[in-house]
Amino acid sequence: MGGGGAFSVACTAQMQIFIQTLVTGIVTGCLYALIALGYSMVYGVLKLLNFAHGDLYMVGAFIGYFAIQWFGGATALIIPVPLLIIFMMVVAGLGVGALGVAIERFAYRPLRNAPRIAPLITALGISFILEDSVLLLFGGFTRNYNAPAFLPFRQSIHIDGVNIWSVQIIVVVVSVVMMFGLRELVNRTLFGKSMRAVASDREAAEMLGVNVDRTIAMTFFIGSAMAGVAGVMSGLAFGQISNIIGFLAGLKAFTAAVVGGIGSIPGAMIGGLVIGLCESFSSSYISSQYSDLIVFALLIATMLVRPQGVFGQPPLQKV
């Protein structure tokens, strides 16, 4: 595939590093954006910082891993690879979505009218339980997806020395499709309308006949399912999973949601890309040790300049 049209001019070495970093950043950013969307949606309807969301992503990655094992393991697959990938995503999406709904029903619904701090602490508790349950059930060691063994199209596309893996293309395409699907869902459907109504004023929405419980459950389902799919794709793209990947990924995604403006869907997408790019550029140009610190510093700076995020609306204070 060497020498695609747009890159027919020979790239310099710096240019190659730059483009490679850009590609990595976009892929990571898409994953963060998918997780951030769930954070943002849940915050929108419940005004709850769901700290357990990152762990749902981790659970999704594990479901994907076991799907591979189910079909004979990485080296001896018994079904075609595209089918496997679709199966992994569907199962992880449905499974993690159901888990999200269960968590909402069990832990958050009884606390709808409790003080603001109560659901926050509950979310920390859920995060503890998810992380340690996976540790208990599957052990603490790092597992390998072995994606190169079964992804024949993991062969990279070379464009003047820049490697773009097919799995990266899958990640970007699936993420973009899901984001636009979500946008259409929120803007065009009845569910989207009721979700926006609940987000803007839950009591008023209830009085106007919106089924608030069902809307919130549905929001949790969609948000969690996206995190689950993101987990599968991160397993394919980065290869390694363990029970602790959720916390840091959740934190980064959360940064993305906040930078973009928490509660705003396009904000979460752009925030995710910004965080992904920021991380990949700082690790390839400054130091990989400091990349997390730089991301956190970016967040703190954003919050101080514009507390509601880049795309967020400042909250109205009712007196």
- With contacts defined by CB under 8 A, name the span among 56-64, 71-79, 82-90, 119-127 that binds other proteins: 119-127
Cα(242)–Cα(240) distance, rounded to whole angstroms? 7
- 204 touches 64 (CB < 8 A): no
Task: Mark 261-280 with x for binding to other proteins (rule: CB under 8 A) and - for no binding.
Answer: -x------------------
Exposure letters 4-20 (e unless 16+ CB within 10 A, then b): eeebeeeeeeeebebbb
- Single out the segment in contact with other proteins by CB under 8 A; choices: 79-87, 102-110, 216-224, 233-241: 102-110
132 binds other proteins (CB under 8 A): yes
Q: Which of 194, 255, 264, 282 binds other proteins (CB under 8 A)?
A: 255
List 81, 90, 251, 277, residue binding other proteins (CB under 8 A) = 251
- Nearer to other proteins by Cβ, of 177 and 300: the residue is 300
Chosen residue from 79, 86, 121, 176 binding other proteins by CB under 8 A? 121
Q: Cα dihedral sign for 246, 252, 258, 264?
A: negative
Which tokens go with 77?
A: 């697959």
Q: Quick one: which of 10, 136, 177, 208 contacts other proteins (CB under 8 A)? A: 136
Q: Are 43 and 118 in contact (CB under 8 A)?
A: no
Contact call for residue 292 and other proteins (CB under 8 A): yes
Q: What is the DSSP string of 226-257?
A: HHHHHHHHHHHHH-EE-TTHHHHHHHHHHHHH
Q: Is 105 in the site for other proteins (CB under 8 A)?
A: yes
CB 130 within 8 A of CB 58: yes
Any contact of residue 247 with other proteins (CB under 8 A)?
Answer: yes
The three-state secondary structure class of 72 is coil
- How many angstroms separate the CA atoms of 208 and 176, rounded? 34
Residues β-bridged to residue 240: 144
Considering only 12-20, 131-139, 177-185, 231-239, which stretch makes contact with other proteins by CB under 8 A? Answer: 131-139
Nearer to other proteins, 194 or 255 (CB): 255
Locus of tokens 């390694």: 240
Site string for other proteins, 32-51 (x = CB under 8 A): -----------x---x-x--
Q: If binding is defined by CB under 8 A, does position 112 make contact with other proteins?
A: no
Listed residue (131, 135, 133, 107) closest to 121, CA to CA: 107
Q: What residues make contact with other proteins under the rule CB under 8 A?
A: 43, 47, 49, 102, 105-107, 110-111, 114-122, 124-129, 131-133, 135-137, 247, 251, 254-255, 258, 262, 289-290, 292-293, 296-297, 299-300, 303-304, 307-308, 317-319
